[in-house]
Amino acid sequence: MRAVIQRVLQASSRVEGAITGEIGPGFVVLLGVEDADTEEDLQWLAQKITGLRVFSDENGLMNKALADVDGSILLISQFTLFAQTKKGNRPSFIKAARPDKAIPMYEQMIKMLDTITGKKTATGIFGADMKISLVNDGPVTIIMDTKDKDNH
């Protein structure tokens, strides 16, 4: 499972002109699911995202987590995070999980983030052609891969 986490001042997702999710300060999380992903990967990633201390404290240092700043999450499904570009110019997405696996994992991540944060996670629509607008704060962008969870 891969995630690209962007610290934002605000963000929204639109499908066919209608807002599907909108947040103020917090994270836009682009989430890619792979066939090999497990419940353990979901739990690890949800904890890492919500515990990420990248918001400024009173001294301007990145010491605060999402909960410390009353931040929100906009979660967007993003199978293209598993693009393979080694050969040719057309990416292959063979490693990305098919919808029958990816949709339940995405929905489980929403529930997990809701539980951890105590807030409703804003979302896009899985598989839709979404238009994501955001005001990147910093910019601060972090990439996480659950394959790295055992490497210290």
Q: Give the angle subtended at the CA of 79 by the CAs of 73 and 84, to the nearest 5°.
A: 130
- Token pair in block for residue 13: 């997702």
Q: What are the residues facing 13 on neighbouring strands?
A: 21, 132
- Catalytic residue (one of 20, 38, 50, 80): 80
Q: Is 80 a catalytic residue?
A: yes
Catalytic residues: 80
